[in-house]
Structure 1
Amino acid sequence: MQLLISPIGQLATLAGVVAKDGIGIGWDDLGMIENGALLIENGRILYAGPAADAPEPAKKVWRLDAGDLVAQPGFVDPHTHPCWVGSRHMEFTMRAEGATYQEINRAGGGIRSSMRQCRLASEDELAIATLRRLGRMQAYGVTALEAKSGYGLDTESELRQLRAIRRAGAATHQLVRATFLGAHAIPPEFEGDSEGYTDLIVKEMLPRVAAEKLADFCDVFVEDGYFSPAQGRRILKKAAKLGLGLRLHADEFVSLGGAELAADLGAASADHLMAVSRAGIAALAKAGVTATLLPATTVFLGQTNFAPARQLLDAGVRVALSTDHNPGSSHTENLQLVLTLACTYLKMTIPEALAGVTYNAARSLLIHEETGALLPGRRADVTLFNVPDLRAVPYHLAVSDLCYIVVNGNLYEAPPALALPVAEK
């Protein structure tokens, strides 16, 4: 059965963003169509353009009048840690009383806190917890995302996390890419022996992850006190040899050359980058590596050292945006909030920020030919907002005006608390 959404008050196809591969984006690249239409069948877009030129739909068709709505591509969240159990609210309390992220980590909190809880959790418990968070993300307009492991930090626990992510992804219409992040922290049994843990990742974890086809990417936290650039290079070269895409947590707290490493290895994405150097920015631009920025993390940690988005953009780097959803440093599933933060704190324009949560985010996951824009042949991933203009989407701070969402061709009404139905299907 077909789905015809027509008329649409404003339709943003992002055709120009695709043509420019996400770099140097302005208003003219959003592909704005007043009084537009979308025709969808079997999860794919058949037509995206003016309502007056829309083809005649099949006899069996769902119709949605969106004449008062704004339609744009579904959001893509390219850096999330949704597979965990328990709570770290006590760490939030400690931060409110003055403790730093590093002090909390040294006190036994941080990543190791989630590790202890996840090691005790069953695969079922992890899959259910993950699926619930994917549902919350969808409620904020996310139709595709990346989900990382990294809270197991031993072979069996990491594999269990990845299996749970695969199960959760299979239970939703969202497009989910899994990332192996065994190199998230040094577990207590390898305290003082990061080389030994790196050996375990390279010789045991990665081969098993690849053999079971549990991940699409491998990520490494290259940071002072975690993994050195040399260890990151070793892990990622092994991952590439096994057929995994590459991603990095790079230059988050100090500049260690993570961006340069990402560029040298041809990674799909270098993430965080609050402490990236000028040389790192130049290397990312030259290599075409997407910079994924996470301003909600900076806000949640009570910091002000936001990633230098304008320097990256002006240097010709493709910029994506993400929530960094995780239990410790960015406990939010609201990518629309990140869209607003990008405009206010990162000084990105609305077109740049919108590209950052759609096409460029998809580009960082290597799914940009599938989703991230509303063009014929692509996945039908659409968000429809009850706002007078596209510019009003980031204008409403932390509140979603989402009315409807189409995920791989499946039409959902937004949760009642967030939606104002405007038409009968």
Structure 2
Amino acid sequence: MRCDTVWYNAHLMTLDAAGNGLGVIRDGVVASVQGHIVHVGPASAAPVFAADERIDCNGRWISPGLIDCHTHLVYAGNRAGEFEQRLQGASYADIARAGGGIVSTVRATRAASEAELLAASLPRLDAMLAEGVTTLEIKSGYGLTLVDEAKQLHVARQLGQLRKVEVVRTFLGAHAIPPGRDGQDYIDEVCQVMIPAIAAQALAEAVDVFCENIAFSPAQAQQVFEAAQRHGLAIKIHAEQLSNQHGAELAARFGALSADHVEHLDDAGIAAMRTAGTTAVLLPGAFYFTRDTTLPPIGKLREAGVALALATDSNPGTSPLTSPLLAMNMAATLFRMTVDECIAGFTREAARALGRHGRIGRLATGLECNLAIWNIEAPADLVYRMGFNPLHARVFRGEPAP
């Protein structure tokens, strides 16, 4: 078989097995041509390869490149002061109502130039790449004007051009009500002005809404979803984080790719997500950082067969986290997710949450050759150890990606 590169003498986590396990292949081989996988399987059944490059992995493990399907990576400013306030007893909602929270980051982000935002965001991105990330979503939502939302999305696009990584851009104009604005008047602007402009410039492929009692109502979220559908944009939602607004159920009726957070999700929401194939994106970093006590209904989601993705939710206020490996450990310890679920949550199921299940997230013939090569003894090491980065190498579309 003619190929560009062969990785051999490796153990594989293909994430492509029946039953949604890790799909482990010991002593496996992966081969790629023009950035796509053309063979994956045990060495004992591998064809003879005519390869430009053969890479001996020396018994290391290979997984799909990690996917962080929910981040707010592009922003300016610092909210360490709010962290101190929460340590003294203030709640997330208290801080937001006092003019802090999202709107404080909005002020800093509006004041920053594209160059300043890019310089601030690159180190955060590099930290993720150093832990094996090959795809991530970046949401806007810290501009809350068309000019400033577009500025964030332009910077997100530049990040994908400067590094070997795929950046998926999501428009989150409905993140917070701008200071001095009426909520309904602002949502009308999001739907009638911002979404058409963002779609026309191809700055995002999806919209998101923060549906919560301190943000936007279900009726306003529905208005955003209808506008998104008119302009060919996919749908996502921040739902049921602080209370049950039935946002996940609403989003599922619109065929949403994902509902994210979902700590207060009820049975009707779970049923709607199952029917629609909407992925639950669980965010243990935010749960930990805000000292939440309401666990997402993992058992019910699992029983219903709803896909469980994981993400860092990297943001300045409630999850200043750039480590998918630590997020896996948090999901295991706080949410009692299994090793298989944690690894799948940052690969196969994260791809599903981004509408890319047919392209990335697994080691399978025809998919993009995005790999993370690990110095570990077993897959559980990725979830078990804290403050330990065992990444040996990252491969993006068949090419080394330092």
Q: Give the structure 1 partner of residue 256 of structure 2.
A: 267
Corresponding residue to 1:36 among 28, 35, 38 = 28
- Secondary structure in 2 aligned to 1:331? coil
2:341 is aligned, of 352, 359, 378, to: 352
The answer to whether the Cα contact below 8 Å between 1:140 and 1:333 also exists between their aligned partners in 2 is: no
Query: Is the counterpart of residue 148 in structure 1 residue 139 in structure 2?
Result: yes
Question: Once superposed, which parts of structure 1, at least 4 consecutive aligned residues long, lie more than 6 Å away?
Answer: none
Partners in 2 of 1:121 and 1:284 — Cα distance? 38
Equivalent residue, structure 2, for 1:226:
215
CA distance in 1, matches of 2:320, 2:298: 22
Quick one: structure 1 residues 239 and 103, their matched pair in 2 at CA, closer, same or farther if it must change by over 3 Å?
same
Summarize deviations over 1:250-284 as a string: whole Å, max 9, x none.
11100011111111111010000011112111111
Structure 1: distance between partners of 2:387 and 2:289: 14
Secondary structure of the 2:180 match is helix
**Unmatched 5+ stretches in structure 2:** none
2:229 maps to which residue?
240
Give distance in 1, aligned partners of 2:151 and 2:167. Answer: 17
How far apart, in 2, do the equivalents of 1:72 and 1:59 lie? 21
Among 86, 96, 99, the residue aligned to 1:108: 99
Q: CA deviation at 1:245?
A: 0.4
Secondary structure in 2 matching 1:14:
coil
**Pairing 1:34-113 to 2, within 5 Å after superposition:** 34-58=26-50, 60-61=52-53, 63-113=54-104
The yes-or-no answer on 1:164 pairing with 2:155 is yes
Match of 2:201 in 1: 212
Change (3 A) 1:59 1:309: closer
Distance 1:359 1:59 in 2: 28
Superposition deviation, residue 155 in structure 1: 1.3
- The whole-number CA distance in structure 1 between the counterparts of 2:212 and 2:191 is 18
CA distance in 2, matches of 1:132, 1:169: 13
Determine which of 303, 308, 315 is the counterpart of 1:326. 315
Amino-acid identity (%): 41
State the alpha-carbon separation in 2 of the partners of residues 124 and 52 from structure 1. 52
* Structure 1: tracts of 5 or more residues without a match: 414-425
Provide the rounded CA distance (Å) in 2 between the counterparts of 1:371 and 1:321. 15
Cα contact 1:263–1:283 (8 A) shared by 2: yes
Q: How many residues align?
A: 400
Q: Kindly provide the CA deviation profile for residues 111-136 of structure 1, in whole angstroms up to 9, marking residues without a partner as x.
A: 01110011011122223333332221
State the partner residue of 1:14.
15
Q: Deviations over 1:126-159 (max 9, x none)?
A: 2333333222111111111110000001111111
Normalised by the length of structure 2, the TM-score is: 0.96
What is residue 180 of structure 1 aligned with on the other side? 171
Q: Aligned equivalents of 1:245 and 1:131: distance in 2?
A: 26
Answer yes or no: is the 8 Å Cα contact 1:128–1:168 preserved in 2. Answer: no
CA deviation after TM superposition for structure 1 residue 389, in Å: 1.1
**Counterpart code for 1:3:** T
Alignment deviations for residues 192-242 of structure 1 (CA, whole Å, 9 cap, x no partner): x11100111011111110110100100000000210000000011101110
CA RMSD of superposed structures (Å): 1.5
SS of structure 2 residue aligned to 1:98: coil
